[in-house]
Structure 1
Amino acid sequence: MEPDPYDSPRPGSKLGRAAKGGGRWLRRHPLGALQILLLILVLVVIAQNLEPTSIDLLFWTVAALPKLVLMLLSMVVGALFWEGLRRRWLKPGRRHGATPKDTSATSQTRP
């Protein structure tokens, strides 16, 4: 039986030695790696949505508006609308079943 040439120990190359510690940065900076990944995903979404489009709003027509701008505008309008609803119906004292505090007992002073 012949010896397998791949089982014999070989001297490591400089490239192979550098790759051994290549995962150290990822282990030390997991949030940085996640931020880089999210940045790449955002750049891909931006690149895919740069083509102009037109939109009809009742009797107005907005022409040649990039899809990205349209998406950002709709998100901002939706967030403002949601915040207005939240402030109108979920007042700070009425959240999660809390009852308004009686302030008459605490505002009295002693003679």
Structure 2
Amino acid sequence: MTNSVQQDWPWPGSCWWKFDFHTHTPASTDTPWARQDLQLSHEEWLLKFMAADIDCVAVTDHNSGEWIDPLKATYAEMKQQADNGNPPADFRELTLFPGMEISA
């Protein structure tokens, strides 16, 4: 079920969402991006989840919130483009939840 269907859902009750509760960005130094020095833009990161039909993502980097605000800003730009009728390829609505894994 896509977000557009969920927004137009005419019946009260439950609705299924695809949620990834544990994600990392290049800010986590043990990710393939960081270990292999691969470049990944904020938009590319978001589009990977959109292409997988994920509805909600918790950003849970290790000891860092470095990517949370840039991801939120990039998503807002992408959403504005979509609202103006010019969405990025594979754009779909996505909810971001900030989080963090803290080493103790």
**Alignment TM-score, normalising by the size of structure 2:** 0.23
Of Structure 1 and Structure 2, the greater helix share is in: 1
Higher-Rg structure is 1
**Alignment TM-score, normalising by the size of structure 1:** 0.22
Relative contact order (alpha carbons < 8 A, sep ≥ 6): 1 or 2 greater? 2
